[in-house]
């Protein structure tokens, strides 16, 4: 099938991928109005202090009283946003270079968006055209492949910008960054799990990467929701079926930390998705295949443990056929399991 040819992004976070086989990762629905984090943590039998990452809240980073209380007040906020400000205040050269890098990434995002709008318009026009049945599937797939190509181009360009920045500045070795990383390492020694909240996803990912949290977290269990859940996937997708600005809002932003692979995370579908629009649902699912597209409404969650999806509650899976349905881990595992009979046939053929 053509979908099998669409490869997941090659995230530049190998340390995260190395821990996927041993880590417990839990993605949840939004926690602001219907908090379920505490009950899910308790259901997994986890005890001890929880490190909070609320960098996506930016200036409100320390307004975590409700979240801390929900977790029994046995928490510590790592303060990544404030630490980033301290680093840039001390290391002016890095601050200027980081700002220039972010400007480049913003230009890339806008160029990609302009090209993506044209590709989506072409896909809609082709879909509306009275295509002969003999050509219909091939033509539809060609339209989707053009969109995938733009997604891949954008991720490659972002990776190039990041690699150039790292090659010039060796961020982890700069004294201001190294001191903060060492402080974070010591704080995490006393923590049994990490909770990553939402907010501004680009700011959140930038701080996570700046301080090497993909390495510092190690194999501690991770709980993440909203932008936090997007940040720990391997590909961050921005989406909104009714964007306030009226522009296309189904864009790939960048790669994430890769703690949860081969999954496109779609938080708060109640506000952001028209789940009854089968054409849109089908396009999203086919565009990102073979990744699984999961929507997380309030009170939903899914548990990955040692690379295996252990259980899910209230999570919605988007299908290539345009349907949305409850996500069932056993069906997911069955689809992901290789066909051993086919493999045997292939070996005999060779």
pLDDT at 337: 62
Work out how many domains the chain is built from and give that number.
Answer: 1
* Inside any domain, residue 97: no
Tell me the C-alpha distance between 159 and 258, whole Å.
14
What pLDDT digit, counting tens, does each position of 167-206 carry?
999 999 999 999 999 999 999 999 999 999 999 999 999 9
Tokens encoding 4? 């099998």
pLDDT at 9: 56
* Inside any domain, residue 329: yes
* Inside any domain, residue 47: yes
* Inside any domain, residue 122: no
What pLDDT digit, counting tens, does each position of 334-348 carry?
666 655 444 444 444
Average pLDDT (238-261) is 83
Sign of the C-alpha dihedral computed for residues 182, 187, 192 and 193 taken in this order: negative
What pLDDT digit, counting tens, does each position of 53-62 carry?
999 999 999 9
Domain of 212 in residue numbering reads as: 12-91+174-343
* Inside any domain, residue 105: no
* Inside any domain, residue 118: no
Query: Which of the residue ranges 241-245, 298-302, 322-326, 327-331 would you say has the lowest mean pLDDT?
Result: 241-245
Q: Nearest 5°: phi and psi at 224?
A: -145, 145
pLDDT at 335: 67
* Inside any domain, residue 284: yes
pLDDT at 32: 86
DSSP string covering 26-65: EEES--SSS--HHHHHHHTT--SEEEEE-GGGGGGTT--H
pLDDT at 349: 42
**pTM higher than 0.75, yes or no?**
yes
% of the chain residues with pLDDT over 70: 87
Whether 16 shows a pLDDT value over 60: the answer reads: no
* Inside any domain, residue 48: yes
Kindly report the CATH number assigned to the domain that includes residue 316.
3.40.50.880
């Amino acid at each position: 099938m053509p979908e099998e040819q669409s490869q997941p992004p090659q995230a530049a976070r190998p340390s995260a991928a190395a821990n996927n086989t041993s880590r417990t990762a839990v993605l949840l629905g939004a926690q602001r109005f219907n908090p379920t984090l505490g009950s899910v943590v308790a259901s997994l039998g986890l005890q001890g202090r929880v490190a909070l990452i609320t960098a996506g809240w930016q200036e409100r980073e320390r307004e975590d009283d409700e979240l801390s209380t929900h977790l029994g007040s046995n928490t510590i906020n790592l303060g990544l946003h404030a630490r980033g400000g301290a680093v840039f205040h001390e290391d002016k050269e890095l601050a200027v270079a980081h700002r220039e890098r972010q400007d480049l990434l913003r230009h890339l995002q806008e160029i990609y968006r302009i090209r993506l709008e044209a590709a989506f318009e072409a896909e809609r026009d082709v879909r509306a055209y009275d295509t002969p049945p003999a050509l219909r599937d091939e033509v539809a797939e060609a339209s989707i492949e053009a969109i995938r190509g733009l997604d891949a181009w954008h991720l490659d360009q972002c990776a190039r910008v990041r690699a150039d920045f790292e090659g010039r500045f060796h961020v982890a070795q700069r004294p201001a960054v190294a001191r903060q990383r060492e402080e974070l390492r010591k704080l995490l020694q006393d923590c049994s799990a990490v909770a990553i909240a939402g907010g501004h996803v680009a700011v959140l990912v930038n701080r996570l990467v700046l301080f090497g949290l993909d390495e510092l977290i190690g194999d501690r269990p991770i709980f993440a929701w909203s932008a936090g859940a997007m940040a720990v996937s391997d590909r961050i997708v921005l989406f909104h079926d009714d964007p306030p600005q009226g522009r296309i809002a189904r864009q790939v932003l960048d790669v994430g930390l890769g703690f949860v692979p081969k999954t496109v995370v779609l938080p708060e579908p109640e506000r952001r998705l028209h789940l009854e629009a089968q054409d849109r649902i089908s396009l999203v699912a086919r565009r990102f295949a073979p990744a699984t597209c999961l929507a997380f409404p309030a009170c939903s969650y899914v548990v990955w443990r040692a690379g295996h999806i252990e259980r899910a509650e209230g999570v919605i899976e988007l299908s290539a056929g345009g349907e949305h349905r409850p996500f069932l881990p056993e069906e997911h595992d069955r689809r992901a399991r290789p066909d051993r009979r086919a493999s045997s046939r292939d070996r005999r053929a060779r």
